[in-house]
Amino acid sequence: MKVTYKLQVFEGPLDLLLHLIDKAEIDIYNIPIKEITDQYLEYLQSMQELELEVTSEFLVMAATLLSIKSKMLLPKPPVIENEFDDYYEDEEYDPRAELVQKLIEYRKYKSIADHLRDKELERSLIYTREPEDLTPYMPAEDPNPVRGLQVADLVRAFQKAMKRMATRNTVARIRKDEISVKDRMRQVVDYLLEQGGKVLFSKLLGEDTTRDDIVVTFLALLELMKMKKIECHQHKLFDDIVIQAKEGEELNGFSADEVGY
């Protein structure tokens, strides 16, 4: 009957040592080096019996354990006298200290690796949706009219505009339309005839009336009063002026030729 042995696969000699320590429930700061060394060599022997390849690092650790075991058997160093005639006992050197420190560091990194492995397994159970193109849902932005322009471009454009302005020598004069007092007198008389010979002064002025129009209208009324064609009065102070054709005077035969302004 063929017997099959199945050995646990370890990542390295430190992993194997940590497994042996945890299995035996040994304090890592106080490792019984003889017991651990025997278990370690026993494991290597099992690997050789099963014709498994034993890497060099496992053999180096075995040599290290044997070296530590031999140092543990050496007697303690004698008491040393210092230059001040004081006696002190050298601190006991523990050959296991370096190995213990390596095991502590390895356990720390192994714990972190196990934690990351659990996170990887947990994350692998989450399925995410493929990203979609959200461009159609983005708000439309008005194009920038000065996109790509530099300060130098604006300076050149300003210089060209100034050169064009320097070549413009054309001067335009604008004259506004003016009405003479004589023409305004005719307009007032015509409006009185349309309104039955009586009208308010405010009716002679429109919304877009200028200051010149008001002055010309007053002068026209004064000339008509001087010619005894109309009469003006107010019912009370600051009230609108009432313009009325004078009784007995005919406006149809009115002539303003003698008015020269």
Q: Is the pTM of this model over 0.75?
A: no
- List the alpha helices (DSSP H) in 3-133: 13-24, 33-49, 56-72, 97-124
Pick from 17, 23, 25: which is nearest to 68 by CA? 17
Nearest-Å Rg of the Cα atoms of the chain is 60
CB 99 within 8 A of CB 61: no
Supply the DSSP string of 156-178, one letter for each residue.
Answer: HHHHHHHHHHHT-----------
Give 58 or 79, the one with higher predicted confidence. Answer: 58
- CATH architecture of structural domain 181-245: Orthogonal Bundle (1.10)
CB 224 within 8 A of CB 185: yes
Tokens read off for 34: 């003889």
Q: From CA 43, how far away is CA 65, in angstroms rounded? A: 14
Q: What pLDDT shows up at residue 9? A: 65
Q: What pLDDT shows up at residue 52? A: 59
3-state secondary structure of 60: helix
CB 36 within 8 A of CB 72: no
What is the band of 153 on the pLDDT scale with cuts at 50, 70, 90? confident
CB 120 within 8 A of CB 32: no
Q: What pLDDT shows up at residue 115? A: 92
3-state secondary structure of 198: strand
Pick from 84, 1, 73: which is nearest to 37 by CA? 73
Q: From CA 44, how far away is CA 60, in angstroms rounded? A: 12
What is the band of 174 on the pLDDT scale with cuts at 50, 70, 90? low
Antiparallel, parallel or unpaired: β 198-200 and 87-88:
unpaired
Antiparallel, parallel or unpaired: β 242-245 and 198-200:
antiparallel
- What ranges do the domains of the chain cover? 13-74+92-122, 181-245
CA angle, residues 226, 229, 233, in degrees to nearest 5 = 80
Largest Cα–Cα distance in the chain?
Answer: 159
Q: What pLDDT shows up at residue 4? A: 40
pLDDT in tens, 37-50: 888 888 888 877 66
What is the band of 188 on the pLDDT scale with cuts at 50, 70, 90? confident
CB 247 within 8 A of CB 255: no
Chain centroid to CA 150: 23
